[in-house]
Structure formats: structure tokens, C-alpha cells
A and B are shown apart, each in its own frame.
Chain A
């Protein structure tokens, strides 16, 4: 074996003895073709182009007849002589596989020689959508990738299911060779050339311990050689409708008032009326009290109350708090290059105003990169990416007040509230205190204490700024033909600051000042929170250093063998810091503040029986992540048919508390592919491309929140009782802690029929999460209610299918792209079982309650036996019998509950139809999501009994015998029963199937170029119209709820964009 290896190397080293040299670059449409094969015809000598498409060929004699070939392109032949660098342009071959090169962030691999699972989205498809960010443009472009809606942890972008429980489930994002640590929204999509998603072990193992959730590799645009300046301008404007704030049904104002009267008459407010905290009462309650106390007559009260019945605060919300959203985007770029230099410069400006009045944002981006050929062997690239964003977040959200029965400070305001009078002037509403108390307090000389939500919106001054830049430099040295060494360095820095200024006119500042006002026996007023505003500032930032040294080897020798290999070392150091602090008595004219006493408890002005401390919100933190990694991979292709690949990586990090020896995790992968259509015996002429491939390997997930040792953290200020330094246990001791691993098996078939009428691929995968870290409920007697350790395992099996069809390909062109993904996820090991109630309440994403044998996030319920025909009580089952023993049913074990299904789609995908005729093109995208469930909200009599706003199902409640045939909403109980409420809210009556098909978006575009219209002042002009969020076409459940937005206040409104792109 060893001898064979040496012979093998000796064989290619022998070819290095040569006299003449020719250098050049292989491109198509100005894009490099790394891996293109350049051979001297008839000699067996040959090289492959490097990742920039450059090659250097040595040969005997004064000239050579060379052949340049690249999979998917028409080969070309020419005679070359040594001297000037060549640029060889290859044309795409209509009969070959479409996609060309896959960028893994470490190397470029021709798809033909890849064994792994990759999806690439090119610039054209990325530009089909109009949005300010990149990631949302990936939806519906490839199988296996989905942005889940739903709630809590079940949300977010996921590639091929979730193979972790407690660690981050989001994919690793790479921008230009290095993991990106900043805010991805700062990247201007106009600067993105392509996005490659790495899905299996062979693709992702090279990224090691953070690649378990897949990797998204973003490549930004670069300059091109031998091209004069090319200027491109793109601009669009998007308008979205106002959101429908009536989307979630709500109890009517009149019903709400009836409920207030009922509670008042039963004496529920008696104790709150005497409350020392001066709790606020709604206008209806105040009227009822006034009538009771005979300060007005019962008739007067009734008349006043009846006037309120017709009001709906949502009409004021609609009028004053929401508006259509508008966003504008401008991008300008210049690219070009000469033989020695290639450059790309772009700048972008985005401006948007949100639905919520008071919120808007702006972004400016600048991208400059340059590549210099310092010599024939040495190339230097340097780039700068700078982004700056400014956001105003002045919206105050929904109006709330302190509910006097529950003391809940964030209760939604009563439904008949009015934010403004007829002239639009802001009206005061109750917030924390009773109006009569505020009037009385006013006599003492404290500041105005009224709360006017609309005035707050005008006074708000909450601005955040984000600046992010990356500087990178790459030095590439061609050691020998086919062998190069490169060093890459990137420095990243991001800084965000939030400045939230509450002027003294704001309720927040006035209330704080008043609460900390004290008046002594002589009537002397002192203010412990000084007059002036309150200024909150938060600053957060990161800086990262990435260094990589890598050897690349790529060589073809004889017709049969191609070998590519890389090996390298990578070092990452990421520092994050954040600090927030507050200034009291702030004067914005002079930027001055005043010191306050945080230590002494002061008598609460509102309730002198209690003491309060001035809120202290300063905090600071510093974090450091360090990684040191060694990696290598190699691919060997025989006769362009058989490819073997392997990769290995060792990751080490400063995972806290683990001995250095245990810090590392070795991960590896292996794969093979077989291009069966290249075989001589292959006879299927209608299917010119058929390739089988398979991979196996490990990647990992890292979790910084656990440690093998007991860890604690100091409180960022002293203990409130004593001021002493105190510590909180973060992590109980766990000597057996290990890194998480994900094993992935992937097999796939790529195919293409004649003339590419149909092309596509089918893949099957199995991802097995092993040694997963998860929080597990623990018996209280251990002292830890949730314990985090490696005791869980998951499995995701799935199929990804993509089909691209050219239905008609003549004057009129019609193509269709169809994607289908099926993923079956389950937790295969989880040792502890909780009560049914935990799974039902939180298992759909609110928190993590894994149940062995079920998907990580799933919808469960308690079996429902309909309403009691006699009185409308909800009924369930206990030991197989219909029961109303709610307390006993609530204590049911996990085995007795109903499992409906996953909380995330099992089957999903999209169909995109594109029809073009001459310069006009129409593209319609529909997507579908199937096989999952959601829980709807309903009326809660417990909420009503606490005087809170409840769901509109109240009007659908059981009221008389027979209603049980028409509704499943229980009757209003004679006396409140918490268990009855809990049972109904957890019952299967509220679970629905979420399957649906959605018309996601439509793009209509018109392109004119100089070739068709010579008088055009530009090279080409491209006009486009884009409409998105067009609504649901079909869904399995009844009712008006959108299954993906069942918990949202409203669904994303439809939007329309109009844009123009000019190429000069």
C-alpha cells in the first residue's frame, strides 16, 4: 500500500520537469471555472484550474495543442505558445448538468465530482424575491430547507430536521470563507453572488463541530478579469398592506362590560378597591361604584355604560398605531478588471418604515474587493465589507394596564378604550393607578401623572445603531502546478448601540419620579429620583479574528485520474461584550445626569406601607469563544466515473471547565459517487446523466452553556438584601459531559433527460443525533429542577426531491421547478417522563419537553368527550369512562394523553412555474406544508373571572341544551373552576391539522437589452413586479386562522414591489 502511494506521487512529480509554461484562466460568462481540466492533447500531461479558475501548464516544446474541458460545458481545443496569460471561455453545454461549482467555504468542487448533498442558489434565483435580507430568499428554492413558523423553539430556519435538543438548531452561516458572527440582516442581498447549502456529512463535516445543523455558505460578488467597468443599478419599492388587527377573535366590548358588571355585583372588586397600591379601575367599574355610592343615579350609570358598548379600541389601533409598510432599496455596483487586477465595488441603501407607527429602519452597505496578481504564482485579494443600520423603535406596542384583580401589569386594555378624541388629540387612559388617586396626588404637587398612549408614541425616542465591518485578506501562492498554499485572514467587528431616552414628559419618567417622591411632616418634598429624563443605553459588540492556512492540491494525470486534496489549520477567536447602563435626571440639552441612591429602600409614595428601591439596570458581560481546528479532505476520481471522498477534522475549543484533553472532538466523513452514465455499457440515450452517490460521517453541535464542573456566576451587582457579593449556580457538576455528535448517512441519485427536459435529484438521509445535550426535568429533591447532560438521542429520516422541468422550450418557454421534502423526526432516547400536562402545555415549542418516540416538538392533548348536554361542562375521559373529574384528568400520565402529531411540517415543498415569452417572464411560486398540527386559542373563563380580555369564542359558548351539537366551547360556569379551565384549554377540542397550500409570490419581469433595441442608452434594462404573501389556496382546518400564524396577532399582509435594474 505504502509503495503504491509513493509510486502514485512519483508518477505526477515526474511531470514537473518541463521547459515551456503557459498560464491562464478558464471562465464562463466571466465566472471562474475552478477544476476545469487543461490537457496537452495526446501526451497525458494536464492540470486543473484552481479555485480562481487559474492554471499553469508546463509542456515540452515550443507550442502545445491543448484541450480544455469542464463538466457541463462544451470542451474547446487550441494551440498555445508560452507568453501572455490566456483567458479561455467555455460555453455551457445544454446537454450537461446545469450547476457548475460548489463552494464549501474551503474549496470549490465541480458538482460532477462531488459525493455529498449540496444545493446551490444562484444570483438569478436569489434576485427573484424582493426582501432586505438574504436568508428569507432561500425559502422555496431547495428541498430540505424550511423556515418554520409555529411558536417558541419550533420556529426558525432548519435544514433537514433538528438533530439537537438544547444546542443551537440554526445552521452555521459562512460568509466568504468564514463563519459570520454578526447580524446577518446587515448583509445586502444585492452583494450576494450565490448561496450553497451543505446538508450531509461529506458536505458539512469539513465545518466540524458546528455543522450538525447544516451549513449555509454565502459567496459575495467579486470582480472579473479582462473586463471594462460594468456598472449595474438596482432599485425597488415595496408596499405592504396594513395588518388585519381583527385577525384574532376577541370578546366584544358589550360582553366584556356585562362580565365587568357581573364581577362587580359579586363583590370581586371589593378588596381591590381598598388596595394600598391604588389599583386602577375601568370606566365601567368607576361608573358602577359611583352608582353604588349614590354619587350618580343607576340610570345615569347605565346610560353612560351603554354608550361604551359600541366602542372598539381596535379601530383606534388601526387608525393610530398601524399603517402600510413601505420599503425602498437602492444598490449600485461596479466591477471589472485587467490581467493583473480584478475589482468589485458596490454600495447599497435601504430604507423602510414598519407597520407599527414609530418604527423605521435604514441600512447603508459598502463592499469593496480587489484581487491583484503579484506574480504568476502569487495572488493577493483584499476586501472590505461595511454595513451601518439605524432603527427607530418608538412603537409602544398594544396598550396595557394593571389589572386590579390579578395585579397583572401587562393586561390588555379594556376593549372600549379610546386613544384619541374626535379631533385626534391623545386621551388619557388608566395604567397603574386609579384616576381618583391621581387627582388626589396632584394636590400634593407631584408631576402630572396622566397616561396618554398616543402622546407616549410621539414622545418616544428609542434609536439603535448597528455598524458591522469585515476586512479580509487572502494570499495565494502557487507552489507547483496543482499545488498551492493560501493564507486567509479575516477581522470582523460589529458594534450596536441602543439609546432609549425617556424625557421627563414621558409617563415612564414621570411615574418613576412620582413614586420616589417623599413629603415629610412639614410638607417638604424631596425627590429621590431627580427631575429630568431617564436615559437607557446598551452597547454590545463583537470582534473576531479568523486565520487559516491551507494547502490545496489538485491534479489530473493521464486521462483516468483526478485527485484533489486540502489540508489546513484554522484558528478563531471571537470576543463579545455588552454593557447597559441607565442615567437618571437626564438633561438632553447638555447630556448631563444626576446620581441616585440605589442602596436605600425608599417609602413608596403610592403605598407608604411598602418600600421600593430605585431600579438598577446596569449590567456588563464579556465572553470569549476560541476554536482551534485541523482539517483535511481529499477526493479522487477515476475515469470521471468513480469518485471517493473523505474528510477529517479535529476541533478544539475553550469549552469551560473541560480538561484540555477532552476539549477536542474528532469528526470525519467518507463518500463515494458513481457516474454510471459515463460507462461504456450505458445505453439509456433518453437519460444522458445518471449518477449515484452516498456518504457517511459525523459532524457536531457545540453548546457553551454546559460544563463538566460546577460553575457559578456572580450577580452583576450585590445581593439586594445586604449588598454582599453573591453567586448563582449555573451548571451542576457533570463529570461525564461529552460533545454532541450527529451521524449522517446520505444516498442520492442525480439524473437528467435529453435536452434537460427533466433534471433533478432524489436523496434519502438519516441523521442521528447522539450524546445530545438536553435539559431534563429532575425531581426537586436533587436541588436542580432541570438538568443538562448527554442523555438524549434523536433521529431524522427524510427524502428530498427536486425536479426541474422544461415543459415548453421554443418561442414560449415554460419551466417548472418542483421540490418535495419529507422528514420524520423523533427523539429516540430520553430517560425521564413528565406528566401529560407539561407536554400538552409546552411541548409544541414553548419549551422543551421531549418524549421518547415522538418528535421533539409535538402537539398533544387530553381526550375530549364533548360538552355535557345538561349544562355545557367540558368532558374528558378518565380510565376509559366519560368524566368531569378535572383534577384527576389533569394529573394524567404521559401514556394517557393523545398524541396528534408533530408541531412542524413533515412534508413540505414548493412548485415554481415560470413562463417566458420574448422579454416577458412570469414566475408563480406556491408552497405547501403538511403533516403537522396546532392548537387554537379559545375562551377562558378564568381570564374573564380575573377581569381580563378573553377570546371571541365567548360568543360561541354553550348556552342551552342542544348547543353541544353546534359548539365545543363550554358554558360559562356558575362558579369559577380553575381545573375545568385547564382541562378545556388542554383538550383535543382545540387541536387542528395545519396542512395547507399557499400562493407565496408572483414575479413578473420585463427585460430589454441593447441587442434587441439598439437605441437603448443602457446595456440592458430589467423591470420587475413582485407580489408576495398572497394567501392560502387550500387548508385542511376550518375557520379563518392561518395555521402558520395561529398564535400571531395578525398574518403578514400582502405586499407588492416594483423594481428596475439597469446594466450600463
Chain B
């Protein structure tokens, strides 16, 4: 009997041996492609998720900004969300990609920043580049949200008006209220200022930020805040590092897509690549506003490079039918010129503008533009800005800021199905309604 008991124990031991080293046995990854993002390479890989996430920006402002007109049948075939935005309707959407995607970008950035916080800081290029990348993408996402869901920034009221929820940790259980508008802009500026010194001049890929790209974004942000001195300074700093322009006279106006693919063959003007998140209107569905079209002079190459004979847009710097929404030197030239004009440097402003325009006209026909006063310079620059930047997702931001100045304020009007729709300068619908799922899920304050 005793031996039987011993045998039994031996057998039990054998089984335990069979299953020995259980630690290793159970530590096997269930899926080979899975990772817990830890090292710099993993974190960079999150930021490089460009195609449908990090390098896409909101699209509805382009539907609302009035630069493009859709015929009624085309409009009717659009989503209810697009139709609503087109006529500045008060209808609240259940969900909005324009809200969700920027916050998903913020979430990725916060995972990267939390990951970096758990690592030994080092001053190496890779570490700096990952950190600055996360700060840049987060700032860009917050900025895009502010342009769509917050009031236009005004230093006098910014601390009283609501901003957006500012999640700074990858903790999804934390449901945040709306910050103030001042806090929102402070956060954007702080992140960008931190990122700027950490970056190199030339990025490995144009989907990643570089120092000139951060400076260009800072210039854009300060411009929208009305801080022309700082906007101008960052524009200058950017151009000091990179001031290349694409000579439009080398392009073929007859081509259906005249601009080079920035990520493949290269476009010297592109500082940072991004596109809008949905195909707002395919290239035959919408035509450019006729007053805009009329504003191009005959020898201005942009008219033929940006539009086909049916006034459909074909001028995207993405080289595809998706509108470009990234950063380019041409925008920085325009910011620089505008800030120079606004700070009284008329001659410098016109000189900056002419440098850009030289590359936009048939060379032999181009005559330098002049202005007799800073105000006149500003007017010329703003007009050129609209002509240059059409289809690049900045018109909405320009309308919002220019509406603050009575001289440039304007009302948008659309007629659809015999009904006239208006968006007054500073009208209520310059703030999009926050999607209902956000309001229901978090209880944050809805826009009026």
C-alpha cells in the first residue's frame, strides 16, 4: 500500500515536471504583431500612423466656408452632416469625425508622452524627435478643435469663454469638462514652444514635424490670436530655415493633377503634410465661388493650375483629390507679409508678398505689386491670401479672425432650393455644435 502511495506521488510530480517552468510557458505573447509600446521605436510608430489618423484634419469647415458651391442634386447626395454644415444648420450631429479624430490624435500623443515619462530622459535626437512630435500633433489637434468648436480668440474674453476639454494623460476614465478658451490657447502655445527647439530642420518624412513646421504652426496660431508681432517673428524664423517656393511656371496647367505628390516626388513648399479627413466634395461635385474665380488675373497661373474649365478644384498640394491641410512655405510668406503690413512695415510686406507672387505668374507678365499705405498693403495681401490658399483648409480660420475687424467682416449667403441661408459675421454657427454623443457621455456644455 505504501509503495502505491509513493508511486502516486511520483506520478503527480511527473505532471508537475511536465508543466514545469510555467512562468515562461504563460509569458508567450498571444499575438506576434502585438506590442506594449515602450521603446522609442514603438512610440514613433504610433506617431507615424499617418494615413488615416495623425495626418488628417477636420473637413466640415471647408463645407461651411463658402469657397465652394454645390449644385442642388450634388448636395442632396451628400451626407446629412455635410448638408447641415453647408447651410449652417443648428442640427446637432450624433457623432462627428471632426471631433473624434483630433481627440484620437491627442490620445495617441498622450500615450507617447506617458511612455516617455516612464523612460530615462535622454538628449538624443530620436528621443527629442518623438517628444516634439507628440507635442506638435497634440497642439495641432487642439488648435483644429478650437477653430471649429470654440469662439474666436480674443484676449479680453478668452478667460471667460469655454475652450475644449484638454486631456493631457492617456487615462480614458478621466472625463474632463471644457477648459477656458485662454487655457486652450495657452496649452497649444506651450506645447509648440516646447517642441520647437527639439527638432531638426529637415524631417525624415514630411508626415513628421520639423522645426520650420512648428514655427509655421506657431505663426498660424499667433495670427489667429491677433498677436501679429509673434506671428511675424515665427514666420520669419521659419523662412530663415526654409524659404523654397515652387515655380508654378514649370507646371502643366492642362494636367488633371498638376501638382507633384509631396511625399513621393516632392513639393519644395510643403513643410508638413496633412489632408482633410473625408473627401468633402469630389472634384466634379463642387465649383469655386464665382467672385473668387473672377479675382484671378489672366496671367496668374493659379487660375489654371487650381481649377479646370468647369471651375472644379484640382489644385491640391496632396497631388490627389483630397484637399491639402498641411503647412507650406507659401502660407508662411503670406503670414509674414500680413504681419509686416499690420505692424506698419509696408515696403517689407509688399516685398515678401512679391517674392511669393513671382512664382505664381507667367514670368514675363509679372509686375511687382505696390502699396501706398500699410492698410492698402494689408488689403492686397488678404486678397492674395484668399487666392493662394483656396482649398487648403484655412479659409474658415481667416473668416473667423477677419470678422473681428469691421473692414473685413462679411456675411456668407447660400441659396438652396429657393431658400436663402445666411451666416452673419461672428454668427452663432461659427461655432459648430459639439456632437451629441460627447454631450450625453460627458455632460459638457453645448455651444449655443
Residues of A within 8 A of B (CB): 13, 16, 266-272, 274-276, 405-407, 479-480, 483, 485, 547, 549, 551, 568-569, 571, 573, 600-601, 607-611, 621-626, 628, 652-657, 660, 663, 704, 709-716, 719-722, 724-730, 732-733, 777-785, 787, 832-835, 837-838, 887, 891, 893, 945-946, 975-976, 978-979, 982
Contacts and interface: CB of A to CB of B under 8 A. Distances in A.
A711 B36 contact: yes
B35 A714 contact: yes
Given A660-B23, A779-B438, 17 more contacts: A276-B256, A483-B4, A608-B257, A609-B257, A611-B261, A623-B31, A628-B22, A654-B25, A656-B29, A663-B26, A712-B34, A716-B33, A724-B207, A779-B442, A780-B104, A783-B107, A982-B80
A733 B15 CA distance: 36
A6 B107 CA distance: 62
Contact of A623 (B16, B32, B170): B32
Interface string B185-216: 00000000000000000001111000000000
Nearest to A837: B94
A610 B257 contact: yes
A624 B207 CA distance: 35
Contacts of A628: 19, 22, 25-26
A727 B442 contact: no
A331 to B, nearest CB: 37
Nearest to B19: A571
A710 B440 contact: no
Contacts of A269: 73
Nearest to A16: B1
Contacts of B83: 978
9 contacts: A547-B19, A551-B12, A609-B257, A621-B32, A712-B45, A726-B50, A729-B107, A780-B103, A784-B172
A713 B46 contact: no
B51 A721 contact: yes
A780 B55 contact: no
Contact of B172 (A626, A652, A778): A778
A710 B7 contact: no
B441 A779 contact: yes
B92 A891 contact: yes
Interface string B294-310: 00000000000000001
Contacts of A716: 33
A782 B37 contact: no
A102 to B, nearest CB: 26
Contacts of A784: 104, 107, 172
A109 to B, nearest CB: 22
Interface in B255-308: 255-257, 261, 263-264, 273, 282-285
A624 B436 CA distance: 41
B120 interface: no
Nearest to B46: A727
Contacts of B273: 721
A714 B71 CA distance: 43
Contacts of A610: 257, 320-321
Contact of B263 (A13, A722, A891, A976): A722
A714 B33 contact: yes
A609 B55 CA distance: 22
B11 interface: yes
Given A727-B49, A782-B172, A656 B30 contact: yes
Contacts of A479: 4, 7-8
Contacts of B206: 722
Contacts of B437: 777, 779-780, 834-835
B346 to A, nearest CB: 41
Nearest to B319: A611
B210 to A, nearest CB: 14
B283 to A, nearest CB: 6
B314 A654 contact: no
Contacts, number: 273
B237 to A, nearest CB: 26
Contacts of B48: 719, 722, 724-727
B360 to A, nearest CB: 21
Contact of A660 (B1, B27, B51, B106): B27
Nearest to B26: A654
A571 B21 CA distance: 12
B165 interface: yes
A946 B111 contact: no
B284 A276 contact: yes
Q: Which of A13, A654, A833 has the most CB of B within 10 A?
A: A654
Given A485-B8, A780-B435, A782-B175, A271 B28 contact: no
Contacts of B4: 479-480, 483
B331 to A, nearest CB: 20
Contacts of A266: 73
B29 A654 contact: yes
B267 to A, nearest CB: 14
B146 to A, nearest CB: 13
B236 to A, nearest CB: 29
A607 B256 contact: yes
Nearest to B30: A656
Q: Which of A479, A480, A709, A727 has the most CB of B within 10 A?
A: A727
Contact of B175 (A607, A777, A779, A893): A779
Interface string B403-443: 00000000000000100000000000000000111101110
A268 B76 contact: yes
Nearest to A978: B80
B111 to A, nearest CB: 6
Nearest to B108: A729
Contacts of A274: 284, 310
Contacts of A622: 31-33
B325 interface: no
B110 interface: yes
A722 B302 CA distance: 28
Contacts of B16: 569
Contacts of B29: 624, 654, 656
Q: Which of B16, B72, B73, B99 has the most CB of A within 10 A?
A: B73
Q: Which of B25, B49, B442 has the most CB of A within 10 A?
A: B49
A713 B35 contact: yes
The 9 closest A-B pairs by CB, nearest first: A783-B107, A609-B256, A779-B441, A549-B15, A727-B45, A780-B100, A779-B442, A268-B73, A622-B32
Contacts of A405: 77
Contacts of B204: 724
A551 B8 contact: yes
A712 B46 contact: yes
Contact of A654 (B28, B36, B49): B28
A783 B207 contact: no
Contacts of A611: 257, 261, 319-320
A732 B108 CA distance: 10
A271 B71 CA distance: 8
B445 interface: no
A837 B273 CA distance: 37
